[in-house]
């Protein structure tokens, strides 16, 4: 026992016990370093995530919604175009402001089914052509190109799309909720499209009650008329409108037309006209410049350059289209345009005028002096 006590004393005198306060301090220092390292690592990760988000998200978050457009499909469309029952839907097909035609070609067996397979065939002024498969859609012509309306069919929705001046379809980038209005109704007066920017937006336009916009060609004010075509409205901003009423007898056959800064209201062969966007009006009696064999029940169409077209129904000849030889309307000559329907109804679009026919439309870009036909179906 005594030996044990001596051994314990000896150990106590030589043993240096650990300093537990120093150990705790060291542990705290290690923890602080670890926490600092972890915080730095988290900060680096967050920074990398933020960089990735800022580089990858602006185009997807800030860009307006885009729906896909059809792709060119000449082989698939050719099968529709070459079908013996294929025919151009003249109610839907249109010509744009440079004279290109976008034809909706349907098969006779599917003419009552708006979702039946159809072919879209674009043909340019220089005989170029493109085509693709689609369903029949409404089309709005533009100064250059077209807007093809959206269509809802059982089991699928077909988004609206643009067709550019080369006949290539493109998706539309919508802004300000325009798709809800302009997708299915691109001809709505409030809808505005830019083919080059591939955008669709809402413009602040408010038509007078009972009025509808006229196709007016490029430049000049907006023009509108009503069901009786005895009044022309015009506006430079689409919100404030002025108007002119024609002083024709109530029983007179009347027509209204406008293009650029030119507007006319016609009652037979007497017209009230403006060439300065509605600022001043003049009355012209054109009976002396016209042949005595022509009917007084005539439709007049003014062109962007100020020339006039007169569509009259002649006894035994059907509709005959005459054009003025100059913007002063001193003389009118007959044009060679005829249609399978017998009706000749010129339509102004941009700087061209066209006449709807059964399959091939007649198009003129020189005021009706010369005409070309759109290509026939294969």
Based on its alpha-carbon atoms, the radius of gyration of the chain, rounded to whole angstroms, reads 37
CA distances for 44 relative to 21, 51, 53, 55, 335, angstroms: 35, 11, 14, 17, 78
Q: Give residue 175's pLDDT band: very low, low, confident or very high (50, 70, 90).
A: very high
pLDDT of residue 67: 64
Q: Give domain status of residue 343, yes or no.
A: yes
Is 331 in the same domain as 182? no
Average pLDDT over residues 185-209: 93
Mean pLDDT of the chain: 83
Instruction: Say if CB 223 and CB 234 are below 8 A apart.
Output: yes
Is 251 in the same domain as 191? no
Is 244 in the same domain as 122? no
Q: Give domain status of residue 163, yes or no.
A: yes
Q: Give domain status of residue 50, yes or no.
A: no
Q: Give domain status of residue 78, yes or no.
A: yes
Structural domain boundaries enclosing 171: 74-202
Show which of 181, 202, 223 is a domain's final residue.
202
Is 366 in the same domain as 298? yes
pLDDT above 50 (res 132): yes
pLDDT of residue 293: 61
Q: Give domain status of residue 48, yes or no.
A: no
CATH number at residue 306: 2.120.10.30
Is 299 in the same domain as 255? yes
Is 318 in the same domain as 232? yes
Q: Which of 50-54, 142-146, 337-341 has the lowest mean pLDDT?
A: 50-54
Is 195 in the same domain as 92? yes
Is 268 in the same domain as 341? yes
pTM, two decimals, is: 0.78
Is 367 in the same domain as 252? yes
Question: Over the stretch 306-358, which tens digit does the pLDDT of each residue have?
Answer: 999 999 877 667 788 999 999 999 999 999 998 988 889 999 998 899 999 98
d(CA 88, CA 107): 9
Q: Which of 59-68, 220-229, 338-347 has the lowest mean pLDDT?
A: 59-68
User: What share of the chain in percent tops pLDDT 70?
Assistant: 79
Is 98 in the same domain as 198? yes
Q: Give domain status of residue 33, yes or no.
A: no
Answer with the residue of higher pLDDT: 325 or 250. Answer: 325
pLDDT of residue 105: 95
Is 158 in the same domain as 216? no
Q: Give domain status of residue 8, yes or no.
A: no
Question: Over the stretch 262-317, which tens digit does the pLDDT of each residue have?
Answer: 999 999 889 999 999 999 999 999 988 886 566 667 889 999 999 999 998 776 67
Q: Give domain status of residue 68, yes or no.
A: no
Q: Say how many domains are in the chain.
A: 2
Is 175 in the same domain as 243? no
pLDDT above 60 (res 34): no
């Amino acid at each position: 026992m005594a030996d044990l006590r001596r051994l314990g004393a000896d150990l106590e005198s030589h043993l240096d016990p650990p300093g537990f306060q120093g150990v705790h301090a060291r542990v705290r220092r290690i923890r602080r370093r670890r926490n600092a390292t972890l915080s730095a690592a988290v900060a680096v990760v967050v920074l990398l995530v933020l960089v990735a988000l800022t580089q990858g998200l602006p185009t997807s978050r800030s860009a307006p919604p885009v729906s896909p457009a059809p792709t060119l499909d000449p082989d698939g469309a050719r099968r529709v175009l070459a079908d013996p029952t294929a025919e151009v839907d003249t109610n839907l097909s249109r010509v744009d402001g440079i004279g290109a035609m976008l034809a909706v070609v349907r098969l006779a067996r599917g003419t009552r089914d708006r979702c039946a397979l159809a072919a879209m065939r674009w043909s340019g002024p220089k005989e170029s052509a493109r085509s693709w498969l689609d369903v029949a859609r409404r089309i709005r012509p533009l100064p250059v190109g077209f807007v093809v309306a959206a269509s809802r069919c059982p089991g699928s929705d077909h988004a609206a799309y643009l067709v550019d001046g080369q006949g290539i379809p493109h998706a539309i980038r919508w802004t300000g909720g325009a798709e809800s209005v302009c997708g299915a109704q691109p001809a709505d007066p409030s809808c505005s499209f830019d083919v080059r920017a591939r955008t669709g937006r809402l413009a602040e336009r408010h038509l007078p009650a009972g009025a509808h916009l006229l196709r007016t060609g490029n430049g000049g004010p907006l023009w509108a008329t009503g069901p009786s075509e005895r009044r022309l409205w015009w506006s430079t901003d689409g919100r404030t409108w002025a108007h002119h009423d024609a002083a024709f007898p109530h029983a007179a056959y009347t027509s209204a037309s406008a293009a650029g800064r030119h507007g006319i209201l016609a009652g037979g062969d007497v017209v009230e006209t403006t060439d300065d966007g509605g600022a001043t009006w003049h009355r012209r009696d054109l009976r002396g410049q016209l042949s005595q064999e022509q009917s007084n029940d005539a439709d007049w169409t003014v062109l962007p350059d100020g020339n006039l077209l007169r569509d009259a129904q002649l006894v035994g000849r059907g509709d005959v289209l005459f054009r003025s030889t100059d913007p002063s309307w001193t003389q009118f000559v007959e044009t060679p345009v005829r249609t399978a329907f017998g009706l000749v109804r010129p339509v102004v679009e941009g700087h061209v005028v066209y006449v709807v026919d059964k399959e091939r439309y007649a198009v003129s870009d020189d005021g009706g002096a010369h005409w070309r036909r759109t290509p026939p179906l294969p």
